[in-house]
């Protein structure tokens, strides 16, 4: 008995309105590839709908009757992001293709006339890219499953804590003097609110991971974007403030701007930064915490407090090493590292300014989406 250990043939979809070009490409691709052909964008989409599970690479001509190759590439990038996309074009088209190359998610460009060597080399590179994506997708799925398990395991005890806290709050009424009842009620209420907030954070984080690991992304547009101001407002509405902490917070909105990438994770960043600021303000006589939302060429959200500031030796390492000024309150120092990585993941960043006795300002920098070409892992 023998076992076939050879790799299955990669399936390529080639799109060109010229029949001879399709035949030439199929021969050039060689026997190690299965080549499916389409004569236009609509036919290509129909083939993808039927065979998407096995197609790893799309190669399309640019100039075709009806919808051109750029339009096809943009649709495939949205609906089938796992497929590696290659554009075939003539030299004369180059000036017209800048937008397609930047917004159409192109991995490589094949310039006409294409040779057998060109075709096989670009397909080899495309195959490597597809396999890299497949491995990464498997890892993301494993992370997703792990997080789902953790969320389930944490969700149950957190929900129980919330219910116990609400029950305690209801049952202590009348059993102690009025002052004691009020103290126990406030403590139980705080337990309930914090547990509920933790449940919301878990749900939000899990949703973000699933979205980043999933397939098609929603088409960009004003209706799909969450604004920076809305994220701040939502945080202030849901955060479990203690005592009169909410009165410390003010918001200044100097024009709003969209946060189209990872808004749930940005919300977690805002929550983490605000939590740090609230802890720093615990012993301040007149605590103040300001959120400042600024649009323009460099969109940003500033979170400024009038706390004691951050020691210089901690400042130097804050975004690199797990250092904390709140170890006694359970801080691990990982929060700012996580926040910085989240912001950097979509082209943003974090800046921190602090002086002893003069408070701290944390600035979240966002890319300017109006002037920035949309480019992703192609």
Question: So what's the pLDDT on residue 346?
Answer: 79
Question: So what's the pLDDT on residue 142?
Answer: 62
Q: Which of 316, 317, 302 is nearest to 364 (CA)?
A: 302
**Span 30-75, pLDDT tens digits:** 888 999 999 999 999 999 999 988 999 999 998 888 898 888 988 9
DSSP letter at 90 equals -
What CATH superfamily is the domain 10-114? Response regulator (3.40.50.2300)
Question: So what's the pLDDT on residue 372?
Answer: 40
Beta strands in the chain (DSSP E): 10-15, 33-38, 55-61, 84-89, 108-111, 226-227, 249-254, 258-259, 289-294, 300-305, 349-354, 360-365
155 vs 221: which has the higher pLDDT = 155
Each domain of the chain, given as residue ranges in start order, spans 10-114, 136-214, 224-378
Task: Check if the beta carbon of residue 22 is closer than 8 Å to that of residue 37.
Answer: yes
* Sheet hosting strand 300-305, strand order edge to edge: 249-254, 289-294, 300-305, 360-365, 349-354
pLDDT level of residue 215 (50, 70, 90 thresholds):
very low
Q: What is the mean pLDDT of the chain?
A: 78
Name beta bridge partners: 352. 362
Question: So what's the pLDDT on residue 328?
Answer: 46
**Span 356-375, pLDDT tens digits:** 888 999 999 998 765 443 34
Question: So what's the pLDDT on residue 371?
Answer: 44
pLDDT at 157 over 70: no
Non-local CB neighbours of 174 within 8 Å, separated by 6+ positions: 181
**Span 246-294, pLDDT tens digits:** 999 999 998 899 987 778 788 888 988 998 899 889 889 999 999 999 9
Question: So what's the pLDDT on residue 5?
Answer: 41
C-beta pairs of 317-323 under 8 Å, 24+ apart in sequence: 318/352, 319/350, 319/352
For the chain, give the percent of residues with pLDDT over 90: 28
How far is the CA of 7 from the CAs of 11, 82, 128, 130, in angstroms? 12, 19, 13, 14
Mean pLDDT in residue range 151-175: 66
Let me know if the fold of 10-114 is the same as that of 224-378. no
Question: So what's the pLDDT on residue 327?
Answer: 46
pLDDT at 207 over 80: no
CATH of domain 224-378: 3.30.565.10
**Span 173-194, pLDDT tens digits:** 556 666 666 767 667 777 777 7
Residues 160, 289: Cα–Cα separation, whole Å: 33
């Amino acid at each position: 008995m023998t076992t076939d250990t050879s790799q299955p043939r990669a399936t390529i979809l080639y799109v060109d309105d010229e029949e001879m070009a399709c035949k030439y490409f199929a021969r050039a691709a060689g026997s190690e590839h299965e080549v499916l052909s389409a004569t236009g964008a609509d036919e290509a989409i129909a083939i993808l709908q039927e065979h998407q599970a096995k197609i790893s690479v799309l190669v399309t001509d640019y100039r075709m009757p009806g919808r051109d190759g750029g339009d096809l590439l943009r649709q495939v990038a949205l609906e089938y992001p796992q497929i590696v996309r290659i554009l075939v074009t003539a030299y004369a088209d180059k000036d017209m293709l800048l937008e397609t190359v930047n917004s159409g998610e192109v991995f490589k460009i094949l310039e006409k006339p294409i040779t057998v060597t060109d075709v096989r080399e670009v397909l080899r590179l495309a195959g490597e890219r597809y396999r890299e994506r497949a491995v990464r997708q498997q890892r993301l799925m494993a992370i997703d499953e792990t997080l789902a398990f953790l969320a389930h395991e944490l969700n149950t005890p957190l929900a129980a804590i919330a219910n116990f806290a609400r029950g305690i709050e209801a049952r202590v009424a009348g059993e102690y003097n009025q002052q004691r009842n009020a103290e126990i009620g406030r403590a139980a209420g705080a337990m309930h609110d914090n547990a509920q907030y933790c449940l919301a954070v878990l749900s939000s984080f899990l949703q973000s991971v699933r979205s980043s690991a999933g397939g098609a992304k929603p088409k960009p547009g004003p209706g799909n974007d969450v604004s920076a101001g809305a994220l701040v407002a939502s945080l202030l509405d849901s955060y479990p403030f203690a005592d009169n902490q909410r009165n410390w917070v003010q918001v200044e909105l100097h024009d709003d701007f969209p946060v189209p990438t990872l808004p749930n994770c940005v919300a977690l960043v805002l929550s983490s930064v605000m939590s740090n600021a609230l802890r720093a303000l615990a012993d301040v006589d007149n605590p103040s915490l300001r959120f400042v939302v600024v649009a323009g060429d460099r969109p940003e959200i500033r979170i400024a407090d009038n706390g004691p500031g951050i020691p210089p030796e901690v400042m130097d390492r804050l975004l690199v090493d797990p250092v904390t000024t709140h170890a006694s309150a359970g801080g691990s120092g990982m929060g700012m590292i996580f926040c910085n990585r989240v912001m950097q993941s979509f082209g943003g960043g974090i800046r921190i300014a602090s002086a002893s006795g003069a408070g701290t300002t944390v600035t979240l920098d966002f890319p300017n989406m109006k002037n920035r070409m949309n480019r992703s892992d192609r």
